[in-house]
Amino acid sequence: MRVKLSVEKMRVDIFVEYGELTGTCPECGAACRVYDRSPGRVWRHLDTMRFGTYLHCEPPRSECAEHGIKTMSMPWAGKHSRFTQLFEAFAINVMLASRSTQEAGKLLRLEWHQLHGIMKRAVERGLKRRGNDEIAWIGMDEKSFRKGHNYVSLMNDLEHSRVLDVVEGREGNAADKLIAKALDGGQREMVCGVAIDMSAPYIAAIRRHLPHADIVHDKFHIAKHLNEAVDKTRRKEHRKLLKDKDERLKGTKYSWLKGMEHLSDESLAQVESLAKAELDVAKAWYIKELFRHFWTRRDGAFARSYFERWYHEAFKTGLPEIRKVARMLKKHLENILTYFECYITNAVSEGLNSKIQTIKANARGFRNFENYRVSILFFCGKLELSP
Ligand SMILES: [Zn+2]
C-alpha cells in the first residue's frame, strides 16, 4: 500500500495492491487462481482531515472453473459504486439530515447525479431488506407529480407511517400495478383494511387483489370533498354578488374552509353575519360542519341514522355542489361506515404528503418519474438504507 499526499490539491490518494496469487469467484465464492488484473479503479473514501481521500486499486480477475474469468469484488465497495461503503453510509446520513439535496451536495462535495446514484442503491437495498412483513392497514392515494396533469399513486403503511411504493398515473390499472409492486401474494392476503378516496379504479383494484381487506373512505377524503363543495359554492355566489357590486364574500375563502373552533372571533362574527343573511355559502358551510358529528360518537349505528338526517338537510339546501357530494356519500355509505369497525384514516398519509411536498420543492421538479420515486422511498420509506 502506498499513500500520496497533495497539500495544494487537499487530497490523499491511497494505492492498494492485491498481491495474492489466489482469489475467490464473485459468483460462487469458490477459491480459484488470479488470472490477471482489471484496469485501475478509484473509489472515494471518507475525508482525511478535510482532505478528499481516494482509494486506487486494480481489482484482480479470478478464473473459476464454472464461471470463467470475473472481476473480483472488493471488500470496501458495492458492485457498481464509485464510493467506499463507509463513504456511502456517511453520505446517506448527511442527505437524511440535510434540509435539501443541494445542501447535502455542498457538504459532501458531490453532484446531483452522484447523490442520486447513492440514493438509488440505498433504496434498492432497503426494499430488498423490507422483505414480506405483514402489513395490515394501508392507505392509497394520488398525488400530483409535475405541473399539469401528471399524477402518481402511492401506497402507505398506516401503522408505521411509511411509503411502501409509488407508481405513475391514478387511473386505469395504476392501482393494480401499485398493489402488485408493493405487496407480494402472501402480504395481499394479510391486508385487513385500506383507506382510500371514493375512486372507482382504486375500489375495483382492491376488490380484485386484496380479498380480506375492508375499504374505508376516510374522514380526510370526505372533508376534502365537502370543503371543495363549500368553496365552489362560494366562488359561484361571489361572482353573482360582484355583478351587483356586493363585496361581502371578498377575502372570506379560508374562513369557510376552517372548522368552527379554529376561527378567530372576528372571522366567526363575519361567518355568523353572512349566515344570517342566508347566503348560499353559509348554508353549504353549515352542512359541512354538521357532518363532523357523524364521526364524533364513534358509533356505527348512530352514524347510520345520523347520516339520514344529515342527507335530508343537505338536500334541503338546494345547492347543486352540496347535493352532489351528498349523493356520492350516500352511494358509498357502507364503505364509510366501515370506519367504525377498524378506525383507520389517512391522517398518516396527510403527514407523508407534506414531507413529499418538501422533497418535490427541494428537487426543483423531477425530470423523470423514477427519480421522484427513489427520492420518496429514500426519505419516506423508513427503509434500512446503509450498505
Ligand atoms: Zn464461480
Percent of the chain past pLDDT 90, that is, above it, reads: 70
C-alpha cell at 360: 418535490
Section 327-336 average pLDDT: 97
Ligand 1 midpoint to CA 21 (Å):
16
The tally of CA atoms less than 13 A away on the side-chain side of residue 50 is 3
Q: Are 156 and 211 in contact (CB under 8 A)?
A: no
Please tell me the distance from the alpha carbon of residue 216 to that of residue 196, in angstroms, as a whole number: 6
Ligand 1 midpoint to CA 62 (Å):
9
Ligand 1 midpoint to CA 121 (Å):
25
Ligand 1 midpoint to CA 377 (Å):
34
Enumerate the β-bridge partners of residue 141.
Answer: 154
Full-model pTM: 0.87
Q: Are 122 and 92 in contact (CB under 8 A)?
A: yes
Ligand 1 midpoint to CA 32 (Å):
8
How many residues can be counted in the chain? Answer: 387
Residue 367 confidence (pLDDT): 73
**Element containing residue 177 per DSSP (H, E):** helix 174-182
Ligand 1 midpoint to CA 56 (Å):
25
Residues 110-141 have pLDDT tens digits of 998 999 999 999 999 999 999 888 999 999 99
Mean pLDDT of the chain: 91
Ligand 1 midpoint to CA 31 (Å):
8
Ligand 1 midpoint to CA 277 (Å):
84
Residue 183 confidence (pLDDT): 95
Q: Do the bridges between strand 214-217 and strand 51-57 make them parallel or antiparallel, or are there none, so unpaired?
A: unpaired
Please tell me the distance from the alpha carbon of residue 346 to that of residue 341, in angstroms, as a whole number: 15
Residues 364-374 have pLDDT tens digits of 656 788 888 99
Please tell me the distance from the alpha carbon of residue 119 to that of residue 15, in angstroms, as a whole number: 27
Q: Are 383 and 375 in contact (CB under 8 A)?
A: no
